[in-house]
Amino acid sequence: MMHASRPSSPTLSAQRVTLRAGARTLLDAFTHTFYAGEIWCVAGPNGAGKTTLLSTLAGLLQPSAGHVELDGVRLAEWPAQPLAQRRALMPQSAPDAFSASVLDIVMLNRFPHLTGWGWEREADREAARAALDLLSLTALTTRDVLSLSGGERQRVALAAVLCQDAPLLLLDEPLSHLDLHHQIDCLEALGQWTRQAPRTVLFSCHDLNLARRFATHALLLDGAGVVYAGSVRDVLTPALTSRVFGYPLILIRDGEHEALIPAPRTSHESTPNHDASAT
């Protein structure tokens, strides 16, 4: 049974979640709670389980062990429509099967909020236009989605999940196909969106320096069962990232700015950062 009342902000909790791919353990008894106002980067090498973890946290995949809760209720107990009103998932790719305007594609994500005959209201159109405006896509409103470049289509996909107005966003590689300028624009938009209301974002990303700049927290998966969780500066350190990615990284500084860069293997740091929690 669903609880009669729900908190206004989402609380996502993984309870001893274990994920496996064949005989390989990707995540082992992972327990953590994600709170409103946090922006989490999910990082790790290819095949470490980032997509699997996001899909599990969204309720699309069942973990090998453990369970996931949203607002204190197991995901398996949530009816589909209320769950879609509380969390939105942006997959790595969503091929377009038919011709439609950008505005219509974005408004598809308003479906969880439609009532009666299912016709869009003016409030739904306003939500779609606001999401497009936040990502500087207003000029594309009437464009056929099939005519867009890969980067434009990626930004439209992000606008669609924002339009869904769920306070929990799970984004799988939202920066793929984007140039640096639009990567920064999208991350700034997510930060603004998170500050507008009690909201939580988890996104997978390969650019550790963008993650260090825009995320508040990080999950670093090693693909062998271990995950480091904590503030982004405590997790995305030279020691931990070198260990997980199997290549030596060093941190360089220019005033207040920092960046992780590859280093000769002889300078590989081996001391772990004990400020991050490993599970």
Query: What pLDDT, in 10s, does the model give residues 76-106?
Result: 999 999 999 999 999 988 788 789 999 999 9
163 pLDDT above the threshold of 90: yes
pLDDT of residue 276: 56
Residues 6+ apart with CB under 8 A from 189: 134, 135, 158, 162
CB 110 within 8 A of CB 161: no
48 pLDDT above the threshold of 90: yes
Q: Is there a domain that residue 111 lies in?
A: no
Nearest 10 degrees: Cα torsion 194, 28, 55, 231: 10
Q: Is there a domain that residue 215 lies in?
A: yes
Number of domains composing the chain? 1
Q: What is the 3-state secondary structure (H, E, C) of 249-277?
A: EEEEEECCEEEEEECCHHHCCCCCCCCCE
10 Å CB burial of residue 23 (0-12, 13-18, 19+) is exposed
144 pLDDT above the threshold of 80: yes
Domain that holds residue 47: 12-95+166-278
117 pLDDT above the threshold of 70: no
CA–CA dist 277, 33 (Å, integer): 13
Q: What percent of the chain has pLDDT over 70?
A: 90
Q: Is there a domain that residue 34 lies in?
A: yes
Closest CA to 271 of 251, 243, 250: 243
Query: Does 228 or 3 have the greater pLDDT score?
Result: 228
Q: Is there a domain that residue 141 lies in?
A: no
Q: Is there a domain that residue 158 lies in?
A: no
The enclosing domain of 58 has a CATH number of: 3.40.50.300
The helix-helix angle for 150-163 and 180-196 (nearest 10°) equals 0
Q: Is there a domain that residue 132 lies in?
A: no
pLDDT of residue 121: 85
Mean pLDDT of the residues in the chain? 90
pLDDT of residue 4: 37
Q: Is there a domain that residue 175 lies in?
A: yes
2 pLDDT above the threshold of 50: no
Q: Is there a domain that residue 246 lies in?
A: yes
130 pLDDT above the threshold of 50: yes
The model's confidence at residue 171, banded by pLDDT at 50, 70 and 90, is very high
Q: What mean pLDDT comes out for the span 177-200?
A: 94
* Pairing label, strands 227-231, 217-221: antiparallel
The model's confidence at residue 143, banded by pLDDT at 50, 70 and 90, is very high
